[in-house]
Amino acid sequence: MKILLVEDDDLLIKVLTRNLTAHHYIVDTVKDGEMGWTYGSTFEYDLIVLDIMLPKLDGISLCKRFRTQGYTLPILLLTAQDTITAKVQGLDAGADDYVVKPFDPVELIARIRALVRRGSANPFPLLTWGDLLLNPSTCEVSYNGRPLNLTTMEYDLLEVLLRDCQHVFSTEELLDRLWSSEEFPSEATVRSHIRRVRHKLVAAGAPHDFIATMHGRGYYLKAPNTEESTTRTTTPENHLRGVAKSKATLSNSPQHLPPPDSQQQYLAFLNETWTTTKPKSIDQMTFLLQTVRDLQTNQLAPGQQAQAQQVAHKLAGTLGVFGLTKTMHIARQLEYWLGGREPLQPKHAPLMKTLVTSLQQEIEQTNLIQMSQLPSRQSPLLLIVSGDIEFNQSIVGVAASRGIRLEIAPVLDATQALQVTESAFDALGQNPDVVLLRFSHTLTPSAVTEQSAVELSNFWETLQTFKHRYPETPIIVMGDRGELSDRLQVMRQGGKLFLTAQTPPEKVMDAVVNLLRTPEVPHKVMILDDDQEWLRTLPTLLKPWGFKVTTLADPQQFWNVLQAVSPDALVLDVNMPQINGFELCQLLRSDPHWQRLPVLFLSVLTDSNSQNQAFSVGADDYLCKPVMGVELANRILRRLQRVKAWAS
């Protein structure tokens, strides 16, 4: 897959190029908007990554130019501008995604994969064709379960063929898709790579013509057909007829495998880069300090304030790449003041001097990038408290296949659970993401003996201990039977899920994975109402539930803000000027992307006709004003839970 990166920050170019090439992307880099247009309109790319603040032609204008000229390739805006206005402008210009610096490299790569999938003929996370499987998330390739050891270019070649299985790729197309614009390989190079990939596929058990040749046209993947002999020559016509039955398929199993580059290697790379970046950053501070001195004496030159804003903007992006969050925020404050609509006055000099001095001190005092500054990439941790040795052994392999780490406290019965609990806490050194408690006796026996009473008491005490120690961690309880009384007792004691002892290990891990899918970020709620006083009140009412609330009073801005915020739930008033809530709900439901967004109406209208009309246009719920915060929050949470249950 080939990406055009339009960015003028040398550090970011270096970091991004390293991360992208590690994930088998071919990267062309240019440093201004005009060159971005020249490259993007001349060569074929799968994705364009744009900064907004670029020399000669800014990223917003460049994005608009691509769209007005009919280019449909995915465009991702990567910028330090994090205001709603900037996001709305970027998305309205035709961008498909908007990522704010600093960014987590893992998240950025995932977003790029999603955009590339969306723009390809095969939009699935896992690419398969017959017995061939390619996982873009982990860069692993296998045929019939046997891993293929491929070079970077061989991997890229297979991915291109899999992304568009119905296409016959000419040699010229493959040269354009697989090599950067700075390389000039010959057609013989393509044929050489095709031969090597065929050889490795055949060694893994694939037919000799798995990658078939259409003479005079190019190469394509032969349609899998178990009824045909593997030695029979497949015609292009047969291939195309077989495509309908052989499209690449999707596996919904989430992958938590570590990225190709270890975190330690990435940290070493950043520290090596910081040794050359730090002096450059200090040099940039010299210009900012001079700007403050000129401001104090009211001698700012024309354009000097704008130039200083550009310097602060670049510093914020640079510092964010290294995970220097505090220092980056100081640079952003500086950029904010320098980018104000009104020119700075000498009275602003003390504030500017404080910010510049603080920024300089933070940069000078940073000699080493620490691991704690980088985003955590560790795979999830499951703590199992179980004395069932057979079960413990069976779960190990399944957990490993899902990329989930295990810590097992092998208690033989419930009386020992409390004794190992604290030692398990100490051994972990970190909070588990999920806890599983397995009890091999009936949780609510009809006949209670003295021994079973002690065991049950210890079990419930163990559950409560874990719940107290890890209040935010979901707990799964496994018991011998699944009677109502068992399930009810587990729920009352704080358990999140109940599974019977007969549940296969694969289903147990499915349950764990579903719990891990719970987003760590707060739910985003967008509220549209023309009552300004009510809008000021709602964020306070919903604050105890951790919602991230966006309020809007002007329905004319509804669509722009909706796309910029991408909320998890929407709350609409009915009576608003120019466009009413019913019309907005209909508008929303007419777009396939928003058809499952939970929509709640909140209105002073209490009549049944209004409520019926709301549900007829696609509402999920209807509440009448005034409403208590707890009731509105619970209604929103209930809808979000249903969406999550549907998605899983």
**Residue by residue, what is the 3-state secondary structure of 122-174?**
CCCCCEEECCEEEECCCCEEEECCEECCCCHHHHHHHHHHHHCCCCCECHHHH
**Tens of pLDDT along 151-176?**
878 888 888 888 777 678 887 778 77
- pLDDT of 84 > 50? The answer is yes
User: What phi, psi does 535 have (nearest 5°)?
Assistant: -65, -35
Nearest to 486 by CA among 452, 445, 448, 449: 445
What's the Cα-to-Cα distance from 626 to each of 118, 254, 542, 610, rounded to whole Å? 43, 43, 14, 16
Contact 79, 332 (CB under 8 A): no
pLDDT greater at residue 276 or residue 427: 276
User: What phi, psi does 389 have (nearest 5°)?
Assistant: -60, -40
Nearest to 469 by CA among 435, 509, 520, 508: 435
Alpha helix (H) ranges present in 43-102? 59-68, 84-92
- pLDDT of 408 reads 76
C-beta pairs of 479-483 under 8 Å, 24+ apart in sequence = 479/439, 479/442, 479/443, 480/439, 480/440, 480/441, 480/442, 480/443, 481/442, 481/443, 483/444
Contact 208, 231 (CB under 8 A): yes
Residue with structure tokens 């873009």?
A: 136
What average pLDDT does range 74-97 have in this prediction?
Answer: 83
Burial of 164 (0-12, 13-18, 19+ CB in 10 A): middle
What average pLDDT does range 614-625 have in this prediction?
Answer: 90
- pLDDT of 490 reads 82
pLDDT greater at residue 370 or residue 366: 366
- pLDDT of 118 reads 65
- pLDDT of 476 reads 92
- pLDDT of 215 reads 79
- pLDDT of 591 reads 85
Nearest to 446 by CA among 397, 483, 478: 483
Nearest to 206 by CA among 182, 188, 231: 231
Beta-carbon neighbour count of residue 39 at 10 Å?
18
**Tens of pLDDT along 570-584?**
999 999 888 899 999
pLDDT greater at residue 83 or residue 352: 352
Res. 536 pLDDT band, cuts 50 70 90: confident
Report the chain's mean pLDDT, rounded to a whole number: 78
Q: Which two tokens stand for residue 15?
A: 């970091």
Contact 60, 18 (CB under 8 A): no
- pLDDT of 315 > 60? The answer is yes
- pLDDT of 245 reads 34
DSSP letter, residue 379 = P
Contact 235, 219 (CB under 8 A): no
What average pLDDT does range 494-510 have in this prediction?
Answer: 87
Res. 63 pLDDT band, cuts 50 70 90: very high
What average pLDDT does range 353-362 have in this prediction?
Answer: 87
Region of 578 on the Ramachandran plot (φ > 0 left; ψ -120 to 50 alpha; else beta): left
The C-alpha atoms of residue 356 and residue 348 are separated, in whole angstroms, by 12
**Tens of pLDDT along 384-426?**
888 777 888 788 877 776 667 777 776 644 445 545 555 555 4
